[in-house]
Amino acid sequence: MNKPIIATTSLAGCFGCHMSILDIDDKILELIELVDFNKSPITDIKKFTRTVDIGIIEGGCCNSENIHILKYFRDNCKTLVSLGECAIMGGLPAMRNNIPIEECLKEAYLDGPSTHNPEGIMPNDEELPILLNKVYPCHEIVKIDYFLPGCPPRADLIWDALTALVTGEEMKLEYGVFKYD
Amino acid sequence: MNKNITFTIDGKKCIAKQDQNIVEAAEDNGIYIPTLCHLKGIIPSGSCRICNIKSNGRFMTACTTKVQEGMVIENNTEEIDELRKIIIETLFVSGNHYCPSCEKSGNCILQALAYKHRIMIPRFAYTFEVKQVDATSPKIYLERNRCVLCKRCVRSIKTKDNKNYFAIEGRGYTSQIILDKKLALNMSDEEAQIAMKNCPVGCILKKEKGYIEAIGTRKYDKIEIGTEIEIEA
Amino acid sequence: MDNQIKNITNKYLNSKHRLMDIFHDIQKKSGYISENDIKSISELLNISSVDVIQTLSFYHFFKKKENAKYNIYINESIVAQMYGHKRILQAFENATKTKLNSISADGNFGLYSTSDIGMGDQEPAAIINGVIFPKITTYRVKEIIKEFRKGKSAQDLVNSFGDGHNQDNLIRSMVSNNLNRRGRVIFSGYNSEDALDIIVDKTPEEILHVIKESNIRGRGGAGFPIGLKWQYCRQATGKTKYIVCNADEGEPGTFKDRVLLTELPKRVIVGMIIAAYAVGASKGIIYLRKEYDYLIPYLKNSLTEAEKNNLLGESIKGRKGFNFDIRIQLGGGAYVCGEETALLESCEGKRGEPRNRPPFPIEKGFLDNPTVINNVESLCAIPKIICKGAEWYRSLGTKQSSGTKLLSISGDVLYPGVFEVEWGMTIKDIIDMAGGLDTKAVQVGGPSGKLISKKEFSRRIAYEDLSTGGAIIVFNKTRNILDIVMNFTKFFIDESCGSCAPCRYLTVILKNKLQKIIDGKGVENDLLELKEWGKKMKIANRCGLGQSAANPILTSLENFRSDYEDAVQSDKKYISSFDLEKSILAGAKAASRFPAV
């Protein structure tokens, strides 16, 4: 049987969820036995080279690029998993959702106490993605099949979920395995 | 003389004192009925609706209902569980609950209830309702993004001459908790501490000191809410 | 401190239980209740200022900020919508140069929406500075605003009087009764005072017996047997007992109590007196919805007349020890106060949040005293029962539903108005009676009732079949079911007191889901979820409002399934509501960029 193939990405996240994937410690060796990785920061494969079985999304969507990548994942993954609070509900980046976007940008680039920007230039290069009006949970953009909460999700939870997905067995979900922080 | 009352919860025979409400009667018999707005020692409000149980086939809130002789109560059923989950999830999306940045995380009852019910995410879409934070009083913050309008503070924190510090302003989903600005000037440290303690979520926070407990050592990090009741019995 | 405020609170003995009256008086004098007023009230009543604010902010018609010179409240009920609410609102916006929910730059006009104001038979209607303007046209809007700009008052613009006592000097209102059918109990010709001559020769127990035998049940909608309610209250211990008349009819589509209060105030009062006699009550309160405050001088006069004739006061009808008086408590604009325990809270000067029961009002009601709360219509029927006897009354209607019922019929019918009919009439006959054509759906009992389709038109109004408080809204085949359901759902959101978590917010979740379907972004699964989540409302909430807030969705899903199925995309499993182009607009603007997506 072919090994299931996994892809991962980090959208509006901090890579903490990816760190948590690595945090499964020596089980990572077991994992490598079980699965192969395709597009992922872990492999540094930039583009999907084939349809993969499981796509893991860290982070929510805060800009236009996040949207494109999320849709790219949906198109190329049979199953999508939202990993962590940001992917699930926007997380900390979404704390800007009730602040007008101009205010956010001004605070960050013009008025912030640690900002030095005498020309008062707002980042506006064409190459830059454009901020969305708010930070969106991933499942408001595309269909997401599974959700793993936590900030970051505990390594045990990731391991349990991945093995469940790969083996088709149900997760036990014992107390303490998942947290929202 | 107080007569004892006998009743059952999920088939288990229980004994209670007269005039006890079902939540507390259950607790005395080692059975946990999930609650959020209920706080022992103050008048029950029955507003969060999480303690809904079924008694003789009818839904009612266990905190506001006195136990009666011969009651047949259902607590742990799929139907009730589903209702409680829906209420908990409703509360999550009705506010802005960013657990990772919340000081009460790990000690929060709303969160603990969600853990208990193994809620991975709310089934409802997030709406990011706009809430105003009130930091004007000298002793406490009102972080309304996290308020669940349980009215515990309204019911339990009063001045020495029995005036209300807290109240609800407005109605419906736009209602919000308010603090009497004038009275708040004289709020004592103890009162502020109790207000924070009585708040089941991270809405009322005492100023100047925070994040005292490390992750991993907080109340609900290891132990599921309600298990202490089941263990003690 | 402001002496005016002092005088007002003094008038109400500085009692926090009279907060509603205090607010009304202040608002009448200065247009709104200011920060300073709140401070003064809290000091004079010796309560914290947040206690003042919590009551003040609960009610729709109290204002905390400076009001405009003319405050225009436009009814947004479904029937108003059917009769051109949108057009009228636009006309008002154009004429006043104001947007909804704001005050014009010159401070002249405030424009607001309001839930059903009880004018379903004469929509579109609005309340301007307390004056009801029914049957408004765009022509009338221009005229009204033009005259206001000249400095005319709202009362100056009353250009015609309605029928019946609407022409009374103390009312002088443009409102019409549209009393299209008189029946044998309530709108029958007799002198209700005769009933008082009968009762004073009998014992309270005998009266209780007659009322119980008559089998009359509460007309507000819940249908609790009135005789039993009175008996329980009589048996309850308490020094002072209260009879409260619930004149807070707020169910969209009902307006019968308005007609009763206009045409038969004496029968309402006599009904209360009989109740007081049977129960042993000495105090009465009429809780009147704010929307009907134009009736207050007239009602107060009716009370004064009754006092003069020794129907109220001490030793009524010469019977020693039979003392009873009545005061009017004006509401502040809150549908939920029609729920009897919320009504009591409001009477006590608090937020209109329903209480936990037990204890029931018959044991612990107004200020913890044993209290009977009866609907206006119930009380109006009582004198006739006393005069004609229980057996006669029982001969009307059906086996379990004695007597007659007032129906408020509105919507797509030729003759909207009030009809007194015997219980047991079929929906089909009701539609025909009022002149409904091409009827597609009927809302029986207002939004908290049921939306039924043709296949149920043969059902009868009766407690044993379709029980109803009497609101009948008829929709013809041109009406969009989903729009109707949306209007009702929004109504419940606006009127939720906010105490119970599910009623406070699950309603909003349901509305959002419904909007998704209306926007054409719904899938089959959304219908399933609407139903599953909606069903929870029934069991999760404390009061009738919350329990029935999903009824519009649930009953329409059941009876008009195909309307929903036509609206969803059945070939898709998932549709995102997200729109990339729209969602980058603000971000692009903030960074001065004009991208091609």
* pLDDT beyond 60 at A1: no
User: Rounded to the nearest 10 degrees, what angle do helices B78-94 and C507-518 cross at?
Assistant: 80
C594 in A contact zone (CB under 8 Å): no
Looking at the fold, whether C214 and C319 belong to one and the same domain comes out as yes
Q: Could you state, in order of their start, the residue ranges of all structural domains in chain A?
A: 5-95+134-167
**Would you tell me the crossing angle of helices C35-45 and C3-11 to the nearest 10 degrees?**
50
**For testing the chain C interface, which of A132, A140, A143 should be mutated: the one with the most C CBs within 10 Å?**
A132
Sign of CA dihedral A127, A133, A137, A143: negative
Contact B173 C508 (CB under 8 A): yes
**C61/C55 Cα distance (integer angstroms):** 12
Which chain B residues in 167-186 lie under 8 Å from chain C, judged by CB atoms?
167-175, 178-183
Considering only the beta carbons, identify the residue of B61, B149, B182 that sits closest to C49.
Answer: B182
Domain assignment of residue C32, given as a range: 3-56
With respect to residue C575, please indicate whether it lies within any of the assigned structural domains: no
State whether residue A143 sits within 8 Å of chain C by CB. Answer: yes
Do residues C438 and C494 both lie within one domain? no
C202 shares its domain with C324: yes
Nearest chain B residue (CA) to A171: B118
Q: How far is A32 from chain C (nearest CA, A)?
A: 33
A84 to chain B, any CB pair closer than 8 A? The answer is no
Q: Which residue does chain C place closest to A137, by CA atoms?
A: C578
Instruction: Say whether both C189 and C338 belong to one domain.
Output: yes
Q: What is the DSSP string of C322-351?
A: --BEEEEEE--S-GGGGSHHHHHHHHTTS-
In a 3-state reduction of DSSP, which class is residue C235? Answer: helix
Predicted pLDDT of residue B2? 65
Asked if C200 and C306 sit in the same domain, the reply is yes
The number of folded domains in chain C is 5
Residue matched to tokens 């000037």: B185
Share of chain C above pLDDT 70, in %: 99
Residues C260 and C371 in one domain: yes
Closest chain A residue by Cα to residue B133: A98
- Provide the pLDDT confidence category of residue A172 given band limits of 50, 70 and 90: confident
Is position C309 within any domain? yes
Q: Write down the pLDDT at residue A2.
A: 79
A47-56, A112-121, C213-222: which has the highest mean pLDDT? A47-56
List CB contacts (< 8 A) between A90 and chain B. 126, 128
Indicate yes or no: CB of B172 within 8 angstroms of CB of C504.
yes
Q: In terms of domains, do C366 and C435 share one?
A: no
Q: Please tell me the predicted confidence (pLDDT) of residue C261.
A: 98
pLDDT digits (tens, 9 = 90+) for C128-157: 999 999 999 999 999 999 999 999 999 999
pLDDT tens per residue across all 233 residues of chain B: 568 999 999 999 999 999 999 999 999 999 999 999 999 999 999 999 999 999 989 999 999 999 999 999 999 999 999 999 999 999 999 999 999 999 999 999 999 999 999 999 999 999 999 999 999 999 999 999 999 999 999 999 999 999 999 999 999 999 999 999 999 999 999 999 999 999 999 999 999 888 889 988 999 998 999 998 987 55
CA distance C86 to C67: 24
Verify whether the Cβ–Cβ distance B169 to C493 is below 8 Å.
no
Question: What is the SS3 assignment for A160?
Answer: helix
Give contacts of A 50-69 with B, CB under 8 A: none
pLDDT at B233: 54
DSSP C500-567: SHIIIIIHHHHHHHHHHHHTT---HHHHHHHHHHHHHHHHH-SSHHHHHTTHHHHHHHHH-HHHHHHH
Please tell me which of the candidates B83, B169, B174 has its beta carbon nearest to residue C53: B169
Residue C81 placed within a domain: yes
Q: Which residues in A lie closer than 8 A to residue C578 (C-beta atoms)?
A: 67, 136, 140-141
Q: Is C475 left (phi over 0), alpha (psi -120 to 50) or beta?
A: beta
Q: Does C596 touch chain A (CB under 8 A)?
A: no
Give A147→chain C minimum CA distance, Å: 17
Residue A91 in contact with partner chain B when CB distance is under 8 A? yes
Closest approach of B1 to chain C, Cα-based (Å): 23
Tokens for B138, please give them. Answer: 């000298």
User: For residue A170, is pLDDT > 80?
Assistant: yes
Q: Which domains does chain B have, with CATH numbers?
A: 4-76 (3.10.20.740), 86-222 (no CATH)
The residue from C369, C394, C419 where one domain ends is C394
Please compute the mean of the pLDDT values over residues C249-256 and round it to a whole number. 96
- Final residue of a domain: which of C162, C192, C218? C162
Q: Are residues C22 and C9 in contact, defined by beta-carbon separation less than 8 angstroms?
A: yes
One domain, residues C247 and C379? yes
**Cα separation, C345 vs C286, whole angstroms:** 14
Mean pLDDT value across residues C228-241: 96
CATH assignment of the domain containing C450 = 3.10.20.600
C496 and C456 belong to one structural domain: no
Work out the minimum CA distance from A46 to partner chain B, whole angstroms.
Answer: 30
d(CA B130, CA B110): 20
Q: What is the mean pLDDT of chain C?
A: 96
A5-95+134-167: CATH, from 3.40.1390.10, 3.10.20.30, 3.40.50.700, 3.40.50.300: 3.40.50.700
Distance CA B121, CA C525 (A): 18
Q: Is C415 in the same domain as C533? A: no
Tens-digit pLDDT profile for residues C63-103: 999 889 999 999 999 999 999 999 999 999 999 999 999 99
- Please tell me which of the candidates A133, A136, A143 has its beta carbon nearest to residue C586: A133
CB contact, 8 Å: A124 with chain C? Answer: yes
Answer whether C501 sits within 8 Å of B171, measured CB to CB: no
Tell me the C-alpha distance between B120 and C413, whole Å.
51
Pairing of strands C283-288, C325-330: parallel
What are the pLDDT digits (tens) for C468-520?
999 999 999 999 999 999 999 999 999 999 999 999 999 999 999 999 999 99
A20-28 contacts, C-beta under 8 A, 24 or more apart: A20/A84, A20/A150, A20/A152, A20/A153, A20/A154, A20/A155, A20/A158, A21/A56, A21/A83, A21/A155, A21/A158, A23/A155, A24/A155, A24/A156, A24/A158, A24/A159, A25/A155, A27/A159
| Cβ within 8 Å, pair A134-C590 | no
Based on the fold, state whether residues C364 and C417 are members of the same structural domain: no
B contacts of A57 (beta carbons < 8 Å): none
Angle at C526 between CA C520 and CA C532, to 5 degrees: 150
Asked if the structure places residue C592 within a domain, the reply is no
Is C178 a member of any domain? no
Find where tokens 């059902």 sit.
C459
Number of cross-chain residue pairs from A and C with Cβ atoms under 8 Å apart: 56
Q: Is residue C458 domain-shared with residue C489, that is, in the same domain?
A: no
- Give the burial string for C460-486 (b: 16+ CB within 10 Å, else e): bbbbebbbbbbbbbbbeeebebbebbb
Among C162, C197, C216, residue at a domain's last position: C162
Q: What is the per-residue pLDDT for C313?
A: 97
- Selection from C95, C292, C315, C288 nearest residue C175 by Cα: C292
**Do B102 and A91 count as a contact with CB atoms less than 8 A apart?**
no
The pair of structure tokens assigned to C321 is: 């020890």
* pTM of the predicted protein model: 0.96
